[in-house]
Chain A
Amino acid sequence: MTTAKQEFLDGFRLVLPILVAPVSFSFITGATSVQKGLSALEATLMSAGVFAGGGQLLALEVWHEPQAWLLVMLAAVSINVRFALQAASVQRKINHFSKFQRWLTIATLTDPAWGMSEVRHLTRQVSFWFISGITVPIYLIWVLGTLAGALLGNLVDDPARLGLDFAFVGIFIALALPFWKKSGALPVAVASGGTAILAKLAGFSALYVFIGAMAGVAVAGLMAARRARQEQA
């Protein structure tokens, strides 16, 4: 077996157990997209071009608000800013890729591709084919799952009766749980969650996520500043 093939299979074996997540996530994203007025084609193109479920769902929430063009970008940036941190870290591990391979890897970076590359890097060099073994199945599932969800979502006339409107919350809870378990997360979560609730109740219908997140980030910054002062003292 060639090295490239072996590397691809290594990545594929690692990602296989978690592929049920993109299956369900993409399906909900497709169904939500058509409920928000996208055609099945548009929903599929969105998944192919954005390839980031959390940002897509959050953008769809504000799709019909006034100044939607600004709000959808704010939604995408605030959910996907984690990719900047992940890409910065991955970039240092893939300098030996060709330029094309490097940009393809960065443009399609996902949480699993990042996490599994970090772990792989502990024992050996990360190859383009290893990352492809992770990303290719996720991408195919993501695009085809969105199409399937969009086509079936078109048949549902009352999404709330199936709890489809709440699937979004389930997804974000599943995304948030690993972060909530980390030490030091509680004050940040309480600040951002509490502020977001107050901002929503106060009528900031589309901006409450952003306002809450800023409060959480501010608390994290203040905690770090206090730690730095204590270390100096």
Chain B
Amino acid sequence: MMMDPYNMTLILLVALATFAMRAVGAVVMARVKLAPVSAAAFEAMPVAVLTAVVAPAALTQGLPEAIAGATAVFVGLRAPMAVVIVVAMATVVAMRHVMG
């Protein structure tokens, strides 16, 4: 067990940035009403960020990863997160094995 200054600094920054998001919402955004265009931009952030994480990770690494990503999406339409994680891991291992 150890604590490294580099790691601890970054952990602190991530914690502060995350708390700031929650606090800004409670203190500022609960009091102001956003214009429709800004509100739509804010509402779109989760899907925009999540897709920007998923698409490159699934589609730029190779065919095994692309197949595993597509399989995970298909399974995820019905199954909970734990199943999606296991299916994504199992499919990518199997496809990497098959395709060498």
Contacts and interface: CB of A to CB of B under 8 A. Distances in A.
Chain A contact residues, majority secondary structure: helix
B28 to A, nearest CB: 8
A193 B53 CA distance: 8
A35 B88 CA distance: 19
B58 to A, nearest CB: 6
Contact of A212 (B7, B38, B55, B69): B55
Interface string B1-37: 1111001111111111111111111101110000011
Contacts of B60: 197, 200-201
A85 interface: yes
Interface stretch (A2-10, A131-139, A215-223): A215-223
A76 B50 contact: no
Interface in A5-20: 18, 20
Contacts of B41: 217-218, 220-221, 224
A41 B42 contact: no
A125 B28 CA distance: 23
Contacts, number: 297
A150 to B, nearest CB: 10
A171 B72 CA distance: 9
A82 B48 contact: no
A172 B57 contact: yes
Nearest to A166: B92
B48 A192 contact: yes
B85 A188 contact: no
A50 interface: yes
Interface string A52-89: 10111011000100001100110111111111111111
Nearest to A224: B40
A88 B21 CA distance: 10
B98 to A, nearest CB: 13
B51 A189 contact: yes
Interface of A: 18, 20-21, 23-25, 28, 37-42, 45-46, 49-52, 54-56, 58-59, 63, 68-69, 72-73, 75-92, 102, 106-107, 109, 160-164, 166-177, 179-180, 182, 185, 188-189, 191-197, 199-201, 208-221, 223-225, 227-228
11 contacts: A59-B14, A78-B49, A83-B18, A85-B29, A163-B88, A166-B89, A169-B65, A174-B84, A175-B50, A179-B47, A228-B36
